[in-house]
A and B are shown apart, each in its own frame.
Chain A
Amino acid sequence: MNKINLYNYEAYFLDYAEGNLDAVQMQELRLFLELHPELEKDLLDFQGCELLPIPSQITFPGKHSLIRDEEYHLTELEMLVIGKIENTLHASEELYLGIELANPSVQQELEIYRKTILKENKNILFSRKNRLKRHNKSMWIKYAAAAVSISIALFWFSSLQNSQLEQNLGEDKLPFPSAKEESKANPEQGIIMEVGKTSSPMQLADSRVEENLPTEVLERQEIQLDPTQSKSWKKLPMELDMEPIAKMDINPAILKLDVEVKPANEEYASIPDLLKDQVKQKILKNTVKFELPDDEKSKGFAFSLGGFELSHSSN
């Protein structure tokens, strides 16, 4: 420590109050106070700062309330009895309790503890179950919306196809009169003869000459288009349960195509060119009716229109 002066005298005063100054420092302090007697008062103030020891009699009055009872006032026997009704006893504890139960008071204690087991009152019911239940409304709405959309789309598409078909089959666009008109014009000949009547007699005669076909011997033949059997030129038996073409989606581009007739050979009869357009018309109207000459009536015939290929055997 440096010699005492006006800048460090407080530290000397504090050490003096605590009794930490040696004899030399005490002598220096005494000389300093003789030079500065006005500071003696400060030294007395430092001496008054000494703390008194805390009396041991002062205690916390609430100490007992803080103490926790580790055993929560249960005796060992009570622990065993409660453990018995809780089914938590080990074998050794069960054995010990069994011995204790020879005492009627312990038995009575066990019976009382058994009565502490709560019984559920099932008459108390929650009355708002229906409010809690959920339903898949969103899924129903989705399914219904999808079904309605599909129905509308199908209806619209079907209507569009029918209108296009009707438009294309209109009388002004067809090269031949309709079957209805033909029937009116020559009702006694029926549909078979209508084929022959579709062109003028001159045209018909010309075509017969060209094709060298007999005109008298005609045999009624009737076929219906079956799109499921239209992929080859094979002879196919006619099926009575064929789907009508009116239910099919007909690409309007088909109407612009020409009917291709399978060339006549041993297997197939020839079909007059005159009938090509008639065949086309009849294909689109679902029914094709025409006649075969006698010498070819044992043969089949075949033709195609666009994606449809059709053959028929007279057998």
Chain B
Amino acid sequence: MQFLFVRQKEAQKMTTSEYNQSVDLFSDKVFRFIIKNVRDKELANDIVQESYMRLWEQVDNIEMQKAKSWLFSTSYRYMIDLLRRDKRKGDMNEVNKLYMAHNNQYNDINEVLNHALNRLPQVQKSVVMLRDYEGYSYEEIAEITKLTASQVKVYIFRARKTLKDYLVSMETVL
């Protein structure tokens, strides 16, 4: 009779070095994701900073491999809380001109696409960005946004349809 002993691998804590590495690797991505949603530089800065502060508090419970999705999840939920509280959602008066000016660097399609993206409902915008920017699967996006994978798929399909319709309406660009 053969016995197989499997030793359960203990969850590895993040070291200070790994935490700093996560700042270098993920903070730009999280910042881009948030600022595209809130369109407010200072608010995006605060959300990213708060997310990393929470990561540091939980550094003993999180593995480095999961840090990225943890950061996206935390920053997304914190952003939703702030948007609900401050009712910043869709308020174009608070659009940061500096970051809207980044559209100058895009080609025409991207410029139109960004306009179309800003017309999407909050959830659709977030899931399609997580899908396209970070390449997350429906399941991973569901975990980050606390939706089901089916809901994520529906939201992404709806978002694609809306974006496509917007592009078609801009005949001069196309």
Given contacts A72-B158, A115-B113, A132-B49, 7 further A-B contacts (CB under 8 A): A82-B161, A85-B160, A118-B117, A118-B132, A127-B45, A133-B19, A134-B56
Residue in B24, B52, B164 whose CB lies within 8 Å of A116: B164
3 residue pairs, one from A and one from B, having the closest CB atoms? A126-B31, A118-B132, A116-B163
Stretch from A43-51, A73-81, A203-211, A236-244 at the B interface: A73-81
Beta-carbon contact of B31 and A125 below 8 Å: yes
Q: Which residues B134-162 have CB closer than 8 A to chain A?
A: 153-154, 156-161
- For A125, the closest partner residue in chain B by CB is B28
How far is A124 from B45 in the complex, measured between Cα atoms in Å? 12
What's the count of A-B pairs with C-beta under 8 Å? Answer: 93
Question: Can you list 10 A-B contacts (CB < 8 A)?
Answer: A74-B161, A79-B157, A86-B157, A115-B167, A116-B113, A119-B132, A120-B32, A124-B35, A126-B30, A132-B27
Interface residues on A, range: 20 to 34
Chain A CB within 10 A, most for which of B49, B131, B156, B160: B160
Q: What's the minimum C-beta distance from B38 to chain A, rounded to whole angstroms?
A: 13
Q: A128 near B: Cβ within 8 Å?
A: yes
How far is A143 from B137 in the complex, measured between Cα atoms in Å? 46
Residue in B16, B48, B157 whose CB lies within 8 Å of A134: B16
Q: A129 near B: Cβ within 8 Å?
A: yes
Which B residues touch A128, using CB under 8 A?
Answer: 27, 45, 48-49
How far is A131 from B133 in the complex, measured between Cα atoms in Å? 25
Interface residues on B, range: 35 or more
Q: What's the minimum C-beta distance from A113 to chain B, rounded to whole angstroms?
A: 5
Q: B128 near A: Cβ within 8 Å?
A: yes
Q: A121 near B: Cβ within 8 Å?
A: yes
How far is A119 from B36 in the complex, measured between Cα atoms in Å? 12
Q: What's the minimum C-beta distance from A135 to chain B, rounded to whole angstroms?
A: 7
Q: B92 near A: Cβ within 8 Å?
A: no
Beta-carbon contact of A126 and B157 below 8 Å: no
- For A136, the closest partner residue in chain B by CB is B16
Chain B CB within 10 A, most for which of A72, A82, A121, A122: A121
Beta-carbon contact of B156 and A113 below 8 Å: no
Beta-carbon contact of B52 and A124 below 8 Å: no
Beta-carbon contact of B163 and A132 below 8 Å: no
Residue in B23, B128, B159, B164 whose CB lies within 8 Å of A112: B164
Beta-carbon contact of A118 and B102 below 8 Å: no
Q: A72-B157, A116-B167 are in contact. Are A133 and B28 (CB under 8 A)?
A: no
Residue in A72, A117, A124, A135 whose CB lies within 8 Å of B32: A124
Chain B 111-130 against A: per-residue CB contact (8 Å), 1 yes, 0 no? 00100010000000000110
Which B residues touch A136, using CB under 8 A?
Answer: 16
Q: A123 near B: Cβ within 8 Å?
A: yes
Q: B95 near A: Cβ within 8 Å?
A: no
How far is A125 from B163 in the complex, measured between Cα atoms in Å? 25
Chain A CB within 10 A, most for which of B52, B129, B168, B174: B52
Q: Which residues B82-98 have CB closer than 8 A to chain A?
A: none
How far is A5 from B157 in the complex, measured between Cα atoms in Å? 75
Q: B105 near A: Cβ within 8 Å?
A: yes
Residue in A74, A113, A115, A120 whose CB lies within 8 Å of B109: A115
Which A residues touch B174, using CB under 8 A?
Answer: 112
Which B residues touch A72, using CB under 8 A?
Answer: 154, 157-158, 161
Which B residues touch A133, using CB under 8 A?
Answer: 19-20, 23
How far is A102 from B164 in the complex, measured between Cα atoms in Å? 21
Which A residues touch B58, using CB under 8 A?
Answer: none
Beta-carbon contact of B16 and A135 below 8 Å: yes
How far is A149 from B20 in the complex, measured between Cα atoms in Å? 31
How far is A120 from B106 in the complex, measured between Cα atoms in Å? 10
- For B31, the closest partner residue in chain A by CB is A126
Chain A 54-95 against B: per-residue CB contact (8 Å), 1 yes, 0 no? 000000000000000000111000110010011010000000
How far is A124 from B20 in the complex, measured between Cα atoms in Å? 20
- For A78, the closest partner residue in chain B by CB is B161
Q: B12 near A: Cβ within 8 Å?
A: no
Beta-carbon contact of B52 and A82 below 8 Å: no
Beta-carbon contact of A132 and B133 below 8 Å: no
Chain A 122-155 against B: per-residue CB contact (8 Å), 1 yes, 0 no? 1111111101111110000000000000000000
Beta-carbon contact of B27 and A123 below 8 Å: no
Beta-carbon contact of B102 and A121 below 8 Å: yes
Which A residues touch B159, using CB under 8 A?
Answer: 116
How far is A121 from B32 in the complex, measured between Cα atoms in Å? 8
Which B residues touch A82, using CB under 8 A?
Answer: 157, 160-161
